[in-house]
C-alpha cells in the first residue's frame, strides 16, 4: 500500500506549501514532521510550531485531473470518499475505496451517495443543504428528469436498489438511480479536536493526526482506523481548534434579502450561491457562507470572540462575472467595506470584534446590479480569545 501511495503521488506535486495561522496571516513553509502532541517541525527552522496556533497546513498536491470515480459518498461527519463501488446489505455499507479497500460503515453514518458524480443537478444539491428527513430518499432518473421517492433502504447491490414503502418492497435498477440521501438517525459527528485532511483525489477525511514522518501522514480516522497517506497527496490539513466557531454552523439572529434583477436565491451554508463547493479562483473551501447581493445576515457574537477571520470573493462558478461591495458591521459600526469583482483573487479577512454583540455581513449591489454576484464568505469564523 505504501508503494502504491508514493507512486500515485508522483504527478500531483507543484502547489506552494504554506501554513495559515489561527489568528490570521500565512507563511510559506514546508512542514517536515508532526507528532501526536501537536509539535510541528518545518524546513530550515529549529524552533517548532504547534498545531494549537495553526488553522491550516497547505500541502503541495494539486487536484487530480482524472475522470471521477463512479460513486461519491458523504458521511454525516463530513467525510467524503470517491469510490469504485458502494453496496449495502443488512444496514452495513461496503465502501470500495482505493486507500482502504476493506472499509465498512453502518448505514446510519452515511449522509449521501451520488451514483453519477460527474453530473450535478440543482434539486439534489439543494436537498443536500437542508435538514435530513425521517425517511431515506432515492433520486430516480425518469425521462431526463429527477423524481424523489421516499422509503427505507433495504439493499444496494451491483445491479439494483431495494427499498420498503408502506409495507411493500420495491426496487429500481442501479442505473435508474442518480443518488441517495439517508434518513436522520443520529449517526456520528466530528469531535471538536479532529482535523480535516483533503486529498488530491477529492477525498476529505475527518480524524486525528498520529504522526507525520518521512513523508507519510498517519491518520486515525473512522472508528480509530489507522491510515497511512503520502504527504505528497495531501492538499491541506484543517485544524479544528476548539476556539473556532464557523458562522455557517450558526443560526442567524436575522436575515434580509432584496433582489433587483436576478431571481431570488437563498443564502447557503457551506456551499456557493449556485449550491456547489465554494471556489474562489483555484482555491476550494469546505466551510463558509454563500450570499447573493442584496442579502444581509446578522449573527450573535455575544461579546465572547475577539476576531472574525476568513476569505472573501466571488465564486468561480460565475466565470469571472460579478461586481459588488462587501460590508461587515459590528453593533452598527462599519468594520469593513470592500468592492470585489469576479476576476479578483480571494482576499483574507481579519477583523477585531472584541466587545461586539452583533456582527452583520452584507453584500451590496455593484455596477451590474445583482447579476452574477455569488459571494463566498469562505471559512468565515469567529475566534475565541485564549
Q: What is the pLDDT of residues 160-203, one digit of tens each?
A: 999 998 889 999 999 999 999 998 766 555 555 689 999 999 99
Q: How far is CA 186 from CA 3, 50, 92, 152, in A?
A: 38, 34, 16, 16
Within 10 angstroms of residue 260's Cβ, the number of other Cβ atoms is 10
Q: Would you state the pLDDT for residue 186?
A: 60
Q: Would you state the pLDDT for residue 77?
A: 83
Mean pLDDT of 111-129: 83
Q: Would you state the pLDDT for residue 133?
A: 72
| H or E element, residue 125 | helix 122-129
> Which of 94, 70, 74 lies closest to 203, judged by CA?
74
Give the tens place of pLDDT for each residue, 286-319. Answer: 899 999 999 999 999 999 999 999 999 999 999 9
* Residue 345: pLDDT over 50: yes
d(CA 81, CA 99): 10
User: What does DSSP say about strands 145-156 and 85-89: parallel, antiparallel, or unpaired?
Assistant: antiparallel
Q: Cell for 175? A: 442505473
pTM of the complete model: 0.82
Q: Would you state the pLDDT for residue 2?
A: 39
User: What does DSSP say about strands 225-230 and 216-221: parallel, antiparallel, or unpaired?
Assistant: antiparallel
Q: How far is CA 107 from CA 99, 103, 159, 188, in A?
A: 20, 13, 19, 11
Q: Does domain 244-384 sit in CATH 2.60.120.1060?
A: yes
Map residue 386 onto helix, strand or coil.
Answer: coil
- Residue 26: pLDDT band with limits 50, 70, 90: very high
d(CA 255, CA 183): 28
User: What does DSSP say about strands 71-75 and 54-58: parallel, antiparallel, or unpaired?
Assistant: unpaired
Out of 29-33, 223-227, 363-367, the most confident range is: 29-33
Question: What is 2-63+191-239's CATH number?
Answer: 2.30.30.100
* Residue 94: pLDDT over 90: yes
165 strand-pairing partners = 168
CB burial of 317-345 (b: ≥16 within 10 Å; e: otherwise) equals bbeeebbbbbbbbbeeeebeeeebbbebe
**Is 239 buried (19+), middle (13-18) or exposed (0-12) by CB count in 10 A?**
buried
Residues 371, 321 contacting (CB under 8 angstroms): yes
Kindly report, as residue ranges, where domains of CATH 2.60.120.1060 are found in the chain. Answer: 244-384
Kindly report, as residue ranges, where domains of CATH 2.30.30.100 are found in the chain. Answer: 2-63+191-239
262 strand-pairing partners = none
More confident residue, 127 or 267: 267
Amino acid at each position: 500500500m505504501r508503494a502504491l501511495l508514493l507512486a500515485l503521488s508522483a504527478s500531483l506535486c507543484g502547489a506552494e506549501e504554506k501554513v495559515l495561522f489561527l489568528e490570521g496571516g500565512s507563511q510559506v513553509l514546508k512542514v517536515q514532521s508532526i507528532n501526536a502532541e501537536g509539535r510541528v517541525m518545518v524546513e530550515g527552522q529549529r524552533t517548532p510550531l504547534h498545531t494549537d496556533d495553526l488553522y491550516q497546513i497547505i500541502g503541495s498536491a494539486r487536484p487530480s485531473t482524472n475522470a471521477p470515480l463512479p460513486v461519491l459518498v458523504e458521511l454525516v461527519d463530513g467525510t467524503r470518499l470517491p469510490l469504485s463501488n458502494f453496496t449495502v446489505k443488512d444496514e452495513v455499507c461496503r465502501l470500495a475505496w482505493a486507500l482502504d479497500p476493506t472499509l465498512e460503515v453502518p448505514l446510519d453514518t452515511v449522509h449521501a451517495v451520488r451514483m453519477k458524480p460527474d453530473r450535478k443537478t440543482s434539486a439534489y444539491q439543494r436537498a443536500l443543504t437542508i435538514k435530513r428527513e425521517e425517511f431515506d430518499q432515492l433520486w430516480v432518473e425518469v425521462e431526463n428528469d429527477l423524481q424523489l421517492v421516499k422509503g427505507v433502504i433495504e439493499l444496494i447491490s451491483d445491479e439494483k436498489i431495494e427499498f420498503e414503502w408502506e409495507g411493500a418492497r420495491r426496487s429500481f435498477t442501479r442505473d435508474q438511480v442518480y443518488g441517495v440521501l439517508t434518513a436522520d438517525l443520529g449517526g456520528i459527528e466530528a469531535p471538536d479536536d479532529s482535523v480535516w485532511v483533503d486529498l488530491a483525489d477529492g477525498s476529505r477525511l475527518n480524524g486525528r493526526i498520529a504522526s507525520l514522518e518521512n513523508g507519510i501522514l498517519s491518520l486515525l480516522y473512522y472508528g480509530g482506523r489507522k491510515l497511512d497517506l503520502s504527504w505528497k497527496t495531501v492538499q491541506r490539513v484543517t485544524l479544528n481548534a476548539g476556539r473556532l466557531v464557523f458562522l455557517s454552523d450558526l443560526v442567524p439572529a436575522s436575515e434580509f434579502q432584496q433582489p433587483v434583477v436576478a431571481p431570488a436565491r437563498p443564502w447557503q451554508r457551506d456551499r456557493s450561491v449556485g449550491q456547489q463547493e465554494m471556489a474562489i479562483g483555484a482555491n476550494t473551501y469546505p466551510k463558509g457562507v454563500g450570499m447573493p447581493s442584496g442579502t444581509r445576515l446578522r449573527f450573535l457574537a455575544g461579546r465572547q470572540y475577539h476576531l472574525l477571520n476568513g476569505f472573501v470573493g466571488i465564486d468561480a462558478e460565475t466565470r469571472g462575472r460579478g461586481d459588488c461591495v462587501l460590508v461587515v458591521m459590528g453593533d452598527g459600526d462599519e468594520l469593513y467595506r470592500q468592492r470585489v469583482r469576479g476576476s479578483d483573487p480571494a482576499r483574507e479577512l481579519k477583523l477585531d470584534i472584541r466587545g461586539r454583540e452583533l456582527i452583520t455581513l452584507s453584500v451590496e449591489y455593484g455596477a451590474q446590479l445583482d447579476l452574477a454576484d455569488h459571494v463566498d464568505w469562505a471559512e468565515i469564523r469567529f475566534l475565541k480569545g485564549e
